[in-house]
Every structure is written in structure tokens, then in C-alpha cells.
Amino acid sequence: MSPRRSAADARQTRAAILARGVAIASVEGLEGLTIGRLADELTMSKSGVLGQFGSKQGLQLAVVDAAAAQFAEEVPDRTRDAAPGLPRLLALCEAWVSYVEREVFPGGCFFAAASGEFDDRTGPVRGAITGLITVWQRDLRQNVRIAIAAGDLPADTDADQIVFELTGQMLALNHAFRLHRDRSAPDRTRLAMGRLLGHPLPAAALQRV
Amino acid sequence: MSPRRSAADARQTRAAILARGVAIASVEGLEGLTIGRLADELTMSKSGVLGQFGSKQGLQLAVVDAAAAQFAEEVPDRTRDAAPGLPRLLALCEAWVSYVEREVFPGGCFFAAASGEFDDRTGPVRGAITGLITVWQRDLRQNVRIAIAAGDLPADTDADQIVFELTGQMLALNHAFRLHRDRSAPDRTRLAMGRLLGHPLPAAALQRV
DNA sequence: CCTACCGATCGGTAGG
DNA sequence: CCTACCGATCGGTAGG
């Protein structure tokens, strides 16, 4: 096997770097993710890692995109069976709670951690993080609006307010689960979200017994 | 003026280091706070900074304590006039919203940032952060219980659940205010907290005009 | 994707 | 609280 690899090999290498990078960054942060450590853990040279992304910022942007793809698989993609509006909203909330409970990322919600780390900075990495979170919240809001139009939420509901409060319960769960290792936090979150939406979360009853 | 300073001078130097340290750490994080940068900004030598704390971890612990003292001044100390129970609870919530709105720390809530940074680690710094947050949440819970006993909250209220949900709204505010620069977030938080407690926050009406 | 470097900066120490 | 260091590690480059 020659040291010069094919394009397919390069793609595989890139995927392996990103998988490790996402896991490390969810724990150590996107700044704490270093090229040297990544190279060490993958038994590669630093320049081999860096060559794929050009710079640390390029690596960070690729890691954010890879985390977004994984999040999409683990949360919204699991709600495809639920109809738009209240059913989808409840499914998205339950999928989010489950995503934290299952510890999809070893350091908890990747985007909660990344937004806390980059909220005081400027530049493309912050932009990528805020863009992805904005899209996620727009998806929630859209389903709130459909639920209102369908009569499944009160007509005077403020969609932005509901999304704001749901976001708070998501952050509370990540906080309590990671910092206090509070195992009752997922059910507390389900309860709070169910009250906000006037309906219990779909899987909560099953998981409670 | 000789290079050998008195104990009073040393105390002043220490206070100056901690004031800068808290501000830097609220933006860059407790790991991103470096001895070299601190020395630079204070036109001191690195060893002059390090000598006060022994190690970077000693500096981090002192910075956490200094931030806790400032938080105590800016939030709970401002609610001394409110009677224990629901009045104090409403005052604590309003003081917290105001603390974020006034940007007491340049990087937003110091403890929201620090707990996100250290939630996956072990050691005394994590311990100090969790300890302070636990005390703060115990204070909230205690006032919820007094409010229940006084009949100001329903008798079947779950105090831990209320504290959990209030914490979520605090985190939602910090998140929206820092990441999205959403200026409507403070009033959204007031609204959510007021609903949770069944009473509007004390200063909200005045500030709304 | 590798070896062999680069200057800058990290936390920390010796000794005054 | 200073100067003068230390080894380790940072992101990144040259050249193959």
C-alpha cells in the first residue's frame, strides 16, 4: 500500500477525523479540540490532519457540519412519521429529550456547548453555529404555527414565546443532566414541555413505567 | 517605591488580578484565561500573577470565588427588602433577568458559561462551580417551599420542578441574549417566569412602559 | 499523507 | 513582584 491514497481513501480518512473531532469537541469544546491530539488518537501526523481542512478554523467548520448531520439523523429525521403541527412538535421534543438521554455526543448536546463557547466571538464558526440553531428553531416555530392553525394550540398563542420556553427546557435538561448528573431531568423536561404544549409527550407514558 | 510590597499592596494586586480574570474568563472561559494574557493586560510579569495563586488551577478557583461574590452582590443581595417566599422568589427572578440585561459580566452569566465548560470534567474547579449553583438553586427551592406553605403557590406544587423550569428560562435568556443578541429575550423570560409563579415579576410592569 | 521544521505561547520554576 | 529560564505543545509551512 503506497502512501499516496485514492480520493475514496481520502474521503474515508476525512470521515474518521470528523467522527473523532465531533466527539472530542463535544467534551473539550471547539477551541480545546487540537490538531495534535486528533492526529495522536488517529495515529496520523498533524500535517495529515491539517491537510484535509487547511486550517484549524476549516477543521472547526467541518466538525460543526458533521455534528449537524449527526443531530439531523438523531432528532428531526426520527420524527418523519409524525404529521406537521402538534404531532410533529411533540415528536421533536421527545426526540430531543431522548437525544440527550441517550448521550449521542459524549459531552452532551453539541450545539448547547458550542453556542456557549462561541457566543462572545465573531467569525464564520459562530456564524455556522447560529445559522444551524436558527434553522432548528424556525422548524419548531413553523410547527407551532401549523398547530395553531389546526386548532391544536390556542388561537392567541405566541409562537416565538413557545419556542423560547421550549428552548429553555432543552437547555435545563442538558444542564441538569451533565452538571448535576440528575437522572430525573429527562422526565422533568417531558413534564414541562407537555404542559407548555397542552399534551403529554408521545413516548413519555411508556418510558415512565 | 521598592519592588517588595506590603501585605496591603499584595491584597490590592490580587483584587486587580481577579477583577480582570473574572471579566476575561466570562468571555474566553476558565481554560481560555491564560496567565500570560492576564500579566500583559495588567503590565505585570507572569510569575507575579502566578505567585498569588500558585498554579493555574489556584487562579481558576480564586476567579470562581470572585465571580460568586460579584453575583451575590448583583442578584441575591438586591432582594433583601423582599419577604421570604413568593415576594423574594419574584424578586430573585427579576434580579436575575436584570443581571443578564445589565451585562454585569462582559460574557453573560459567568456560571452558565463555566458550568457548560466544566460539566464534562472532574476536579476542584468543577466542584466549586457545581457547589455554588447548588446553593443558588437550594435558595430558590427554599423560597418556593415557603410560598407553598403560605398559600401563595398551589399546595400540590413540586418545588424541584419549579426550580428546574425557572432554571430553564434563565438559561434560555442567557442563550438568546448572547447568541442571537435578542433584545426581546428579557421580557420573554419575565413573562415565562411570571406564568410559572402565577404572578407578574415585580419590576416588569414598570420596565414595559 | 509523511518527515522535519518554524516562531509563539502555554504553565511553571529558580533565585533574588 | 521581578528577570531569566525550562520543556511541552500550539497552529502552521516546506517539500516530497
CA B124 / C1′ D13 distance in Å:
40
Q: Are A45 and A146 part of one and the same domain? A: no
- What is the pLDDT at residue B209? 40
**Which residue among A29, A119, A171 places its CB closest to the CB of B117?**
A29
Q: Which residues from chain A sit within 8 angstroms of residue B167, using beta carbons?
A: 172, 175-176
Average pLDDT over residues B16-20: 96
Give me the number of domains chain A comprises: 2
Instruction: Give the CATH number of the domain where residue B156 resides.
Output: 1.10.357.10
Q: Are A54 and A108 part of one and the same domain? A: no
Q: Are B95 and B166 part of one and the same domain? A: yes
B35 SS3 class: helix
| Chain CA centroid to CA B200, Å | 23
H or E segment at B179?
helix B159-179
For the stretch B91-125, pLDDT in tens is 999 999 999 999 999 999 999 999 999 999 999 99
| Chain CA centroid to CA A95, Å | 11
B47 touches strand D (CB under 7 A): yes
A94 touches A170 (CB < 8 A): no
Q: Are A182 and A104 part of one and the same domain? A: yes
Q: Best interface-test mutation with B: which of A165, A177, A183 has the largest number of B CBs within 10 A?
A: A165
Residue B204 counted as domain residue: no
Q: Which of A55, A168, A66, A166 is nearest to A110 (CA)?
A: A66
Q: Are A97 and A41 part of one and the same domain? A: no
pLDDT category at B3 given cuts 50, 70, 90 is very low
- What is the pLDDT at residue B129? 98
- What is the pLDDT at residue A4? 55
CA distance B204 to B169: 15
Is B115's CB within 8 Å of A179's CB?
Answer: yes
Q: Are A18 and A83 part of one and the same domain? A: no
Is A179's CB within 8 Å of B119's CB?
Answer: yes
For the stretch A117-167, pLDDT in tens is 999 999 999 999 999 999 999 999 999 999 999 999 999 999 999 999 999
Q: Are A34 and A93 part of one and the same domain? A: no
pLDDT category at A6 given cuts 50, 70, 90 is confident
For the stretch B52-76, pLDDT in tens is 999 999 999 999 999 999 999 999 9
CA distances, B111 to each of A54, B23, B60, B171 (Å): 35, 12, 13, 10
Residue B95 counted as domain residue: yes
**Which residue among A32, A175, A178 places its CB closest to the CB of B171?**
A175
Q: Are A23 and A84 part of one and the same domain? A: no
- DSSP string of chain A, one letter each residue: --SS--HHHHHHHHHHHHHHHHHHHHHHHHHH--HHHHHHHTT--HHHHHHHHSSHHHHHHHHHHHHHHHHHHHTGGGGTTSPTTHHHHHHHHHHHHHHHHTTSSTTS-HHHHHHHHHTT--SHHHHHHHHHHHHHHHHHHHHHHHHHHTTSS-TT--HHHHHHHHHHHHHHHHHHHHHS--TTHHHHHHHHHHHHHTS--TTHHHHH-
Q: What is the average pLDDT score of chain B? A: 94
Nucleotides on strand D with an atom closer than 7 A to protein CB?
A: 1-5, 9-16
Residue ranges making up the domain that contains B174: 75-199
Instruction: Give the CATH number of the domain where residue A16 resides.
Output: 1.10.10.60
pLDDT category at A203 given cuts 50, 70, 90 is confident
- What is the pLDDT at residue B4? 55
B142 touches strand D (CB under 7 A): no
- What is the pLDDT at residue B208? 45
CA distances, B45 to each of A94, A169, B5, B37, B42 (Å): 53, 45, 15, 10, 9
Bigger pLDDT: A4 vs B112: B112
CA distance A81 to B11: 64
For the stretch B128-139, pLDDT in tens is 999 999 999 999
Q: Which of B149, B165, B24 is nearest to A191 (CA)?
A: B165
- DSSP string of B181-195, one letter each residue: --TTHHHHHHHHHHH
| Chain CA centroid to CA A199, Å | 24
pTM of the model: 0.94
CA distance B145 to A145: 37
